[in-house]
């Protein structure tokens, strides 16, 4: 079994389809059958209408940078070797926002509203993390 020196995600039972899809290189979000709202992060009921009738849908994997920060120092010890790295909030084309990293991009190239697409980074056999990179890289 592959282990990681980095912390692994803290998961919920209702978030399992998200992590399974990520292992398979797919990005999925929930959609509410009650009101039609796209939902991320994984929930057991809709935060808009409280319906428990949620389905999983394939996301395009495309979005834009809503906001970001460049971590240049004082990162937790497991991430020191990654500095500088980018923590960003991505607005997916489906309308939900996702906290992740921007990779394959120098921090000074980054701009808000920049078009990005998902890429996947295997952390362990169980966890693969969706990250984002500039479109076309
Ligand atoms: Zn709803």
The pLDDT of residue 3 = 75
Residue 32 CA, distance from chain mean position: 19
Percent above pLDDT 70 for the chain: 99
Does pTM surpass 0.75?
yes
Q: Which residue has the tokens 């697409």?
A: 117
Q: In angstroms, what is the span from residue 109 Cα to ligand 1's centroid?
A: 37
Q: In angstroms, what is the span from residue 35 Cα to ligand 1's centroid?
A: 4
Q: Which domains does the chain show, CATH number per domain?
A: 12-59 (no CATH), 60-137 (2.40.50)
Q: In angstroms, what is the span from residue 39 Cα to ligand 1's centroid?
A: 9
Instruction: For 18-56, give the DSSP string.
Output: HHHHHHTT--EEEEETTT--EE-S--SS-TTT----EEE
The pLDDT of residue 4 = 81
The pLDDT of residue 1 = 65
Q: Which residues of the chain have pLDDT under 70?
A: 1
Q: In angstroms, what is the span from residue 2 Cα to ligand 1's centroid?
A: 38
The pLDDT of residue 71 = 96
The pLDDT of residue 95 = 97
């Amino acid at each position: 079994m592959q282990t990681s020196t980095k912390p692994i995600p803290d998961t919920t039972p209702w978030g399992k389809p998200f992590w399974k899809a990520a292992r398979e290189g797919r990005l999925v979000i929930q959609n509410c059958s009650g009101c039609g709202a796209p939902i991320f992060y994984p929930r057991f009921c809709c935060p808009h209408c409280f319906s428990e009738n949620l389905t999983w849908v394939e996301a395009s994997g495309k979005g834009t940078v809503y906001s970001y920060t460049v971590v240049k120092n004082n990162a937790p010890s497991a991430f020191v070797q990654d500095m500088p790295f980018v923590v960003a909030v991505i607005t997916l084309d489906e309308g939900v926002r996702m906290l992740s990293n921007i990779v394959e991009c120098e921090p000074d190239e980054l701009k808000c509203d920049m078009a990005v697409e998902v890429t996947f980074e295997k952390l362990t056999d169980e966890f693969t993390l969706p990250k984002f990179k500039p479109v076309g890289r």
